[in-house]
Chains A and B, each alone.
Chain A
Amino acid sequence: MTKRTLKAALWSAAAAGALLASPAAADEIGACLITKTDTNPFFVKMREGATEAAASMGINLQTFAGRIDGDVETQIAAVETCIASGASGILITPSDSRALTPVITQAREAGLLVIALDTPFEPADVADATFATDNFQAGVLIGQWAAAQLGDEAANARIALLDLNASEISVDYLRDGGFLQGFGIDIMDPTDIGDETDPRIVGHDVTNGNEDGGRTAMENLLQIDPSINVVYTINEPAAAGAYEALRSMGRQDDVLIVSVDGGCPGVANVRDGVIGATSMQFPLLMASLGIEAIHAFATDGTRPSNSDGLDFYNTGVQLITDQPVDGIESITSEEGLGRCWG
């Protein structure tokens, strides 16, 4: 390709881009959804929710995604494109809770409503609102369930905690701390993982949130104390890995595994007895509520408000288990499979 044809090609590509990004018609409400990636099923669900809600309300939705988790540049460019397109609001799962602050402020100054989905900004009020899972509550539910399953034996439980990684990010300490509090253990500093002194805790290890990490971490903790009978896991892939480790040692039937997420393979694992209970979150709902909020803002200027006592709007968690206990509302895995990540 000669330099000239290359240049011509670039110009025409730029022109096509400009046409596509031209401001929406004045009578049409525009909205943007910007996710961390477009491959993770969690974000795929989010896009489904936003697309359906936008279609039913006649909103013109543009979707963007970073290439990988942590891809800040692409997200910044997406916000800028969105401002230029004249949209009324942005739904975003920030890849970096702090780095996007300037461009988000710019969007709000331009009159757009910005709602963080799933991952809050730091501080949270950088955005107009945050629609997210109450991760602490998600932990509390599985902690209470595990304690109720054990009954009086909860006093002698041997607990292993399989966390995310060494960075101890908020979702990691919130779920871990919630579980321990729900189980009835004093969590000391809620933002610190592993500072508890309760003798029932055998130990913490990290999994990177995948099966291989879950298996290795479970093996390591079983080496420290083979009598472990309660296992908390940061997410369902880590739980599946932990189960494999227990199965290789013939312990799969006398250990309770609890988890958080509500992805379809995870709910199927509840059905098959791999996971005792899991707290399901609702990415699809986060996005559809977000679209509704943008619609309300564009029509009469109403801004969404936070849930009582929280600095975000709680989109809810649902305990999924086939062994329900009194006093904790739950649904079965069969019901759960119909709405995984709904």
Chain B
Amino acid sequence: MTSATRQTPEGYEAALGGADTKVAQFEAPRRTPLGHVQHFLHSNPTMVPVIVLVLSLIVFGALAGGRFFSAFNLSLILQQVSIIGILAAAQSLIILTAGIDLSVAAIMALMSVLAGKLAVESGVPAPMAILMIFGMGAGAGLLNGFLVTKIKLPPFIVTLGTWNIFYALTLWFSGAQSMRSQDIDAAAPMLKWFGNGFQIGGANITYGSVLMVVVFGVLWYMLNKTAWGRHVYAVGDDKDAAELAGIRTDRTLISVYALAGLVCALAAWAAIGRVGSISPTSFYEGNLHSITAVVVGGISLFGGRGSILGALFGALIVGVFNSGLRLVQVDVLWQLFAIGWLVIIAVAIDQWIRKVSA
């Protein structure tokens, strides 16, 4: 063997000299302009409803003119969406855990009827009656949470059942008849407090509208700035992984359902102010309207993704559509048609955003 043919370790190294010296990497395709949009929306999911809200304000402003854009009309939209908005806040909590709550409006109706029974008919002091419905609302949510976590039933089935149960109780306690505004004024005007408000430059802001914004603000803080909130997102994203990470998932879920029930009781108090009477039949489809607001607001039905503020914008979008279409005097069936498309398009956009590559 000659030295010329003998390969040294240096020789092996030398052979590498001809190889690619770059570190392994993934090819990052150049983003198309659409890809940039997709990426932006992926990192800022609340921007979709905000953009839709601004666009719909512009479109209806152009179609209906000053009547639509008056401070008074905008404050009226806020009043009209306030109850569904608060229910949507409760609904968002459940949907963030990958659940769904069909019973939100039924809990609300039952609590408003019970508030009337206690404060108007049985002479319980109004503040006491309100505290009692807060407790019972949380209890109703607790029942949902218990059935979901301990009996391990799907949230859809549990709340389908409790929706019917709470609705039946509502009819039973009310005799299917409304309690009149005048009777509430005489016995317990505090029940209607959220219907009062104040004027700013032509706008008529009710305390109910303020309550909606405050509820969203508080829940946003809880979800984003507390450990509990991060646990809610984690459980919604992947319950098993959350469990392995040491989160007490059942306890988190039960607390979410109970909190949602409490928020529904708050909505019940606000609804008495908004509607004037205590009405067992009002907001009968409030559960579906709240889900609409949440979905249009870009919160994923698969859980763990989306900002609760999206539901606020979702509720406002639906309110703007309804008000705008009424002002341009479109037949009511086209309102249903438009809201239907809004839901489908919102979920389609959500699916598209989810496909984003890093």
CB atoms of B326 and A220 under 8 A apart: yes
- Please report the C-alpha to C-alpha distance between residue A165 and residue B336 in the assembled complex, in whole angstroms: 11
Q: Which of B176-203 contact A (CB under 8 A)?
A: 176-182, 195
Q: Is the CB of A215 within 8 A of B76?
A: no
Q: A209–B177 contact, CB under 8 A?
A: no
Known: A212-B283, A237-B277, A240-B277. A205 touches B182 (CB 8 A): no
Does A219 make an interface contact (CB < 8 A)? yes
Q: Are B277 and A224 in contact (CB under 8 A)?
A: no
List 14 additional contacts besides A41-B176, A211-B276; criterion CB under 8 Å: A40-B176, A44-B176, A203-B329, A209-B281, A212-B271, A212-B279, A212-B282, A215-B275, A219-B76, A220-B327, A237-B178, A237-B277, A240-B180, A241-B282
**Could you list which residues of chain A lie within 8 angstroms of chain B, going by C-beta atoms?**
39-41, 44, 165-166, 194, 203, 205-206, 208-213, 215-216, 219-220, 223-224, 237, 240-241, 243-244, 247-248, 263-265, 268-269, 272, 274
Q: List 16 A-B contacts (CB under 8 A).
A: A39-B176, A41-B175, A210-B279, A210-B282, A212-B282, A212-B283, A213-B282, A219-B76, A219-B79, A220-B327, A223-B323, A240-B181, A240-B277, A264-B177, A265-B178, A265-B180
Chain A residues near B177: list those with CB within 8 A. Answer: 41, 263-265
Q: Identify A210's interface contact among B73, B284, B326, CB under 8 A.
A: B284
CB distance from B136 to the nearest CB of A (A): 21
Which one of A41, A165, A224 contacts B329 once the chains associate, using CB atoms below 8 Å?
A: A224
Whether, in the assembled complex, B333 has its beta carbon less than 8 Å from a beta carbon of chain A, the answer is yes
Complex-state Cα separation, A44 to B176, whole angstroms = 10
**CB-based contact A211/B327 at 8 Å:** no
Report the separation of the CA atoms of residues A212 and B272 in the bound assembly, to the nearest whole angstrom. Answer: 10
Residue from A211, A219, A247, A263 whose CB has the most chain B CB atoms within 10 Å: A211
Please tell me if B91 contacts chain A, counting CB pairs below 8 Å: no
Interface size class of B (residues with CB under 8 A): 35 or more
B319 closest partner in A (C-beta): A216
Partner of B332, one of A44, A206, A211, A215: A206
Chain A residue numbers with a CB within 8 Å of B195 are 244, 248
> Considering only CB atoms, which chain A residue lies closest to B285 in the complex?
A208
Contacts of B175 in A (CB 8 A): 39, 41, 44
Q: Which of B76, B171, B275, B326 contacts A212 (CB 8 A)?
A: B275
Among A39, A40, A41, A166, max chain B CB count under 10 A is at: A39
Q: If A41-B177, A209-B281 touch, does A274 touch B182 (CB 8 Å cutoff)?
A: yes
Please report whether the interface of chain A is mostly helix, strand, loop or mixed according to DSSP. helix
Contact A244 B327 (CB under 8 A): no
Report yes or no: B181 in contact with A244, Cβ–Cβ below 8 A.
yes
Which residue of A39, A237, A240, A241 is within 8 Å of B171 (Cβ)?
A39
Inter-chain CA distance A212–B271, complex, in Å, is: 9
Neighbour of A224 across the interface among B171, B276, B327, CB < 8 A: B327
Residues of B within 8 A of A219 (CB): 76, 79-80
Given A166-B333, A220-B323, A248-B204, residue A211 in contact with residue B176 (CB < 8 A): no
List the B side residues contacting A205 at CB < 8 Å: 326, 332
Closest to B175 in A: A41
Q: Is B13 an interface residue (CB 8 A)?
A: no
Cβ A208 vs Cβ B323 within 8 A: no
Q: A215 with B326: in contact, given A39-B171, A240-B181, A248-B195 (CB under 8 Å)?
A: no
Chain B residues packing against A (C-beta within 8 Å): 67, 73, 76, 79-80, 83, 171-172, 175-182, 195, 204, 271, 274-277, 279, 281-284, 323, 326-327, 329, 331-333, 336
From A209, A215, A247, A268, give the contact of B180 (CB < 8 A): A268
Nearest B residue to A271, CB-CB:
B182
- Interchain CB contact (< 8 A) of B276 among A44, A203, A215, A216: A215
Contact (Cβ within 8 A) A244 B276: yes
The docked-state distance in angstroms from the alpha carbon of A205 to that of B323 is 12
Is A166 a contact partner of B336 (Cβ separation < 8 A)? yes
CB-based contact A244/B336 at 8 Å: no
Q: Please, which residues of chain A bring their CB within 8 A of the CB of B76?
A: 219, 223
A220-B327, A224-B327 known; A240-B178 Cβ under 8 A: yes
Q: Which residues of A contact B274 (CB under 8 A)?
A: 212, 215
CA of A210 to CA of B182 in the docked complex: distance in angstroms? 17
Closest Cβ of chain A to B208, distance in Å, is 11
B271 nearest CB across to chain A (Å): 8
Distance between B160 CB and nearest chain A CB, rounded to angstroms = 14
Bound CA–CA A219/B179 (angstroms):
21
A213 to B331, CA, bound (A): 16
Closest 4 CB pairs of A and B: A244-B276, A212-B282, A211-B279, A220-B326
Shortest distance between the CB of B93 and any CB in chain A (Å):
23
Q: How far is the CA of A248 from the CA of B67 in the complex (A)?
A: 18
Q: Which residues of A lie under 8 Å from residue B182 when comparing CB positions? A: 268-269, 272, 274
Measured between alpha carbons, how far is A39 from B178 in the docked complex, in Å? 13
Q: How far is the CA of A105 from the CA of B67 in the complex (A)?
A: 55
Min distance, Cβ B174 to any Cβ of chain A, angstroms: 9
Contact: A166 with B332, CB < 8 Å? yes
Q: Nearest chain B CB to A252's CB is how many angstroms away?
A: 11
Q: How far is the CA of A219 from the CA of B76 in the complex (A)?
A: 8
A223 touches B281 (CB 8 A): no
Q: Is the CB of A210 within 8 A of B281?
A: yes
Partner of A241 from the list B179, B276, B327 (CB cut-off 8 Å) is B276
Question: Complex formed: what's the CA distance from A166 to B330 in Å?
Answer: 12
What separation, in Å, do the CA atoms of A248 and B80 have in the docked complex? 13
**B271 CB contacts on chain A under 8 angstroms:** 212
B206, closest chain A residue (CB): A248
Cross-chain contact A216 with B329 (CB below 8 angstroms): no
CB distance from B197 to the nearest CB of A (A): 9
